[in-house]
């Protein structure tokens, strides 16, 4: 397959960040600097890497950032008090609570305590409602990134049959709503869907977000369609590697060096049927942080009644 059909998330994320930096510079002329508060509880290595990457990206784009690191013994009440402080701060436009939170903390109560106007993850019920009713809202970063990727790659959405596999609140459901807003005809499938292939073989745009390695097989894909793989699964056994990547020398080298490799929810052979597709890694993943930055700027503008 030619490289021009690979939807390069890294390149598209860089283009989004470039646009965000321009927006930030424009706001600076009006004396406005968007600000993001990132709350990282305890010492979860993967979360630390991810949050520090977000803070670094803020700095690169001219967005103010405040990294707050409560101990992992923190209580729900202490966290609620911290969220209330951040809600009241005028220099903070976005509040990011890095999940997972410790077991003793009520994550649902905290996410709902974040002001909807500062909810840059787009998880608050108010933003979910605004999104569904077509009002200006902060939408979840991953599905928003998928829409940007399709738009910037010149892939038509209007009038197309789109199938979303997965119905999570973070990806599946908002993905369906955002595709509807682009005038796609949308079907949402999930683990209980019967004859899944009957739906996926009719999809001009197929979004896989079910969290199961290699779940979408070649016979489930319509030839020439666009396949968006949101999945991120780690393979650690030789048996699994051979099932999905037998004969892929480059991938094998990484697997032998690291003892693992990443695979999405789509079987690699299925990409050969597609007209365009997102690789894993390097597809949807890089868009999430880029859209978090875009949402922070959007929040800064919405909070001040500026045009978005």
The one-digit pLDDT tens for each residue of the chain (308 residues) are 445 699 999 999 999 999 999 999 999 999 999 999 999 999 888 899 999 999 999 999 999 999 999 999 999 999 999 999 999 999 999 999 999 999 999 999 999 999 999 999 999 999 999 999 999 999 999 999 999 999 999 999 999 999 999 999 999 999 999 999 999 999 999 999 999 999 999 999 999 999 999 999 999 999 999 999 999 999 999 999 999 999 999 999 999 999 999 999 999 999 999 999 999 999 999 999 999 999 999 999 999 999 88
Do residue 45 and residue 169 come from a single domain?
no
CA distance 212 to 253: 24
CATH number of the domain within which 155 lies: 3.40.50.720
Whether residue 278 sits in one domain with residue 151: yes
d(CA 85, CA 87): 5
- Based on the domain organization, do 194 and 272 belong to the same domain? yes
- 107 and 154 inside one domain: no
Catalytic residue IDs: 54, 98, 121
- The closest of 186, 204, 211 to 263, measured between CA atoms, is 211
**Which value, to the nearest 10 degrees, does the dihedral of the CA atoms of residues 129, 133, 134, 135 take?**
-60
Residue 213: domain span:
141-287
146 and 282 inside one domain = yes
Distance in angstroms (rounded) separating the CA atoms of residues 299 and 105: 26
108 & 155 share domain: no
User: Is residue 98 a part of any domain in this protein?
Assistant: yes
Full-model pTM? 0.95
């Amino acid at each position: 397959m030619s490289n021009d059909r690979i939807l390069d998330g890294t390149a598209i994320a860089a283009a989004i960040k470039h646009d965000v930096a321009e927006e930030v510079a424009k706001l600076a002329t009006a004396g406005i600097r968007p600000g993001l508060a990132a709350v990282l509880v305890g010492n979860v290595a993967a979360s630390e890497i991810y949050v520090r990457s977000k803070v670094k990206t803020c700095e690169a784009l001219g967005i103010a950032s405040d990294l707050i690191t409560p101990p992992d013994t923190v209580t729900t009440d202490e966290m609620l008090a911290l969220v209330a402080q951040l809600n009241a701060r005028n220099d903070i436009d976005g509040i990011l609570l890095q999940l997972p939170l410790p077991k003793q903390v009520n994550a649902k109560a905290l996410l709902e305590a974040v002001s909807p106007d500062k909810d840059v993850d787009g998880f608050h019920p108010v933003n979910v409602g605004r999104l569904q009713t077509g009002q200006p809202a902060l939408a979840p970063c991953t599905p928003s990134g998928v829409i940007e990727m399709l738009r910037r790659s010149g892939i038509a959405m209007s009038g197309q049959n789109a199938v979303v596999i997965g119905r999570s609140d973070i990806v599946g459901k908002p993905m369906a709503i955002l595709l509807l807003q682009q005038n796609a005809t949308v079907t949402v499938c999930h683990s209980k869907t019967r004859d899944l292939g009957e739906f996926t073989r009719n999809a001009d745009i197929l979004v896989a977000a079910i969290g199961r390695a290699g779940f979408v097989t070649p016979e489930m894909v319509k030839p020439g369609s666009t396949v968006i793989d949101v999945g991120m699964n780690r393979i650690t056994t030789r048996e699994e590697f051979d099932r999905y990547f037998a004969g892929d020398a480059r991938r094998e080298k990484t697997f032998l060096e690291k003892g693992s490799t990443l695979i999405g929810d789509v079987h690699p052979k299925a990409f050969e049927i597609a007209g365009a597709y997102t690789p894993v890694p390097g597809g949807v993943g890089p868009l999430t942080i880029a859209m978090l930055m875009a949402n922070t700027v959007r929040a800064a503008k919405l909070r001040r009644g500026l045009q978005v």
